[in-house]
């Protein structure tokens, strides 16, 4: 079975304006729209396209999170994933613990390719793919904007600060995906109905021998310092005047 594993994280939706809790212990997530991390949606889309090209037989979506994460996995199944695993935990997990659970699942499922988002838009850690690759002692390529699979290898283009970098990695490999890799498909109503019948296994972190929760202590969460409201100018002459006064031109 040629299998692709995809990581799916439940996060506060991209369009929500996030607010810090008044007691500074975190951000407000109650009553807020939750979605699949946008980068993970791109990873899933890529997996589906590879399968549609006849280069894979099965797409497995995996998530680690609270029981409500079933909603996001059902969406992943509706998009086209064949089955899903939810490793259910109510505690926040550190990136290394997440990577260790993915490692155990990869060892059992033997995917030839693992696709993850390059970061989750909640904690912006950007660690899981690289850590998983290290734990499995496999190649990694982060921030991929192009992925070609052929002859037991992946040729990937990465978005880097200086432009674009192309690597060739032997499979199995772990790739993290960037925004410009593809545009994820919309879910159609009949697919949502079909997804209800697809297998979604629920596991616990203990099933994977991982017990630790977060190893980092959250001291506090603050809102960012706000910028002072600026001035409006009426024309270019006034703008140039202000810039000259500030010594900027």
Partner 1 sequence: MSKILIVAEHDGAKLNASTAKSVTCAAKIAGATIDIAVLAADAAAIAAEAAALAGVSKVIVVENPANKEPLAAILAPQIAKLAAGYTHVFGPSTTFGKDIMPRVAALLGVSQVSDIMAVEGSHTFKRPIYAGNAILTVEAPAGAVVVATVRVASFEAAGAGGSAAVENVDPGVALPSHTRFVSRSGASTGRPDLQSAAKVVSGGRALGSAENFKLIYSLADKLGAAVGASRAAVDAGYVPNDLQVGQTGKIIAPQVYFAIGISGAIQHMTGIKDARTIVAINKDGEAPIFESADVGLVGDLFTIVPELEKALG
Residues 209-228 that bind partner 1 (CB under 8 A): 215-224, 227-228
What track of x and - describes contact with partner 1 for positions 2 through 41 (by CB under 8 A)? Answer: ----------x----xxxx------x--------------
Query: How many chain residues touch partner 1 (CB under 8 A)?
Result: 82
92 binds partner 1 (CB under 8 A): no
Distance, CA of 125 to CA of 135 (rounded, Å):
18
Q: Which stretch binds partner 1 (CB under 8 A): 1-9, 59-67, 79-87, 155-163?
A: 155-163
166 binds partner 1 (CB under 8 A): yes
SS3 94: coil
- List the one residue out of 193, 181, 211, 246 whose CA is nearest residue 89: 211
Nearest-approach distance from CB 148 to partner 1, in angstroms: 11
What track of x and - describes contact with partner 1 for positions 172 through 201 (by CB under 8 A)? Answer: -x----xxx---------------------
Nearest-approach distance from CB 153 to partner 1, in angstroms: 9
Nearest-approach distance from CB 240 to partner 1, in angstroms: 5
Tell me the CA distances in angstroms from 8 to 21, 37, 117, 150, 246, one per residue in order: 26, 7, 8, 25, 48
Cβ burial of 161 (10 Å; 0-12, 13-18, 19+) is: exposed
- List the one residue out of 35, 79, 42 whose CA is nearest residue 182: 42
Cα dihedral across residues 15, 20, 22, 23: positive or negative: positive
Q: 170, 188, 206, 213: which one contacts partner 1 (CB under 8 A)?
A: 170
Identify residues 130-149 at the interface with partner 1 (CB under 8 A).
Answer: 130-135, 137-143, 145
SS3 96: helix
Count of Cβ atoms closer than 10 Å to residue 247 Cβ: 6
Q: 92, 94, 187, 202: which one contacts partner 1 (CB under 8 A)?
A: 94
Q: Which stretch binds partner 1 (CB under 8 A): 63-71, 81-89, 113-121, 189-197?
A: 113-121
Element (H, E) at 98: helix 95-109
Question: Phi then psi for 226, rounded to 5 degrees?
Answer: -90, 150
Nearest-approach distance from CB 197 to partner 1, in angstroms: 36
Tokens found for residue 132: 């998983």
Identify residues 51-90 at the interface with partner 1 (CB under 8 A).
Answer: none
124 binds partner 1 (CB under 8 A): yes
């Amino acid at each position: 079975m040629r299998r692709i594993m995809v990581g799916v994280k439940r996060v506060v939706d991209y369009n929500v304006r996030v607010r810090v809790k008044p007691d500074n212990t975190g951000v407000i997530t109650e009553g807020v729209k939750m979605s699949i991390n946008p980068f993970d949606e791109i990873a899933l889309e890529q997996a589906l396209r590879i399968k549609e090209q006849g280069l894979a037989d099965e797409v497995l979506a995996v998530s680690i999170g609270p029981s409500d994460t079933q909603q996001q996995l059902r969406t992943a199944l509706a998009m086209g994933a064949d089955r899903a695993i939810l490793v259910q935990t109510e505690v926040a997990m550190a990136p290394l613990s997440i990577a260790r659970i993915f490692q155990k699942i990869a060892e059992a499922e033997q995917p030839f390719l693992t696709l993850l988002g390059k970061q989750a838009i909640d904690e912006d850690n950007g660690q899981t793919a690289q850590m998983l690759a290290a734990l499995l002692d496999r190649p990694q390529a982060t921030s991929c904007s192009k992925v070609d699979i052929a002859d037991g290898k992946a040729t990937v283009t990465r978005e880097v600060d200086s432009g674009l970098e192309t690597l060739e990695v032997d499979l199995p490999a772990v790739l993290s995906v960037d925004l410009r890799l593809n545009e994820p498909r919309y879910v159609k109503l009949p697919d949502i109905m079909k997804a209800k019948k697809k297998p979604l296994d629920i596991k616990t972190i203990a099933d994977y021998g991982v017990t630790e929760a977060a190893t980092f202590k959250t001291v506090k969460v603050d809102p960012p310092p706000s910028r002072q409201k600026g001035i409006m100018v009426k024309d270019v002459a006034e703008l140039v005047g202000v810039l000259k006064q500030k010594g900027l031109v």
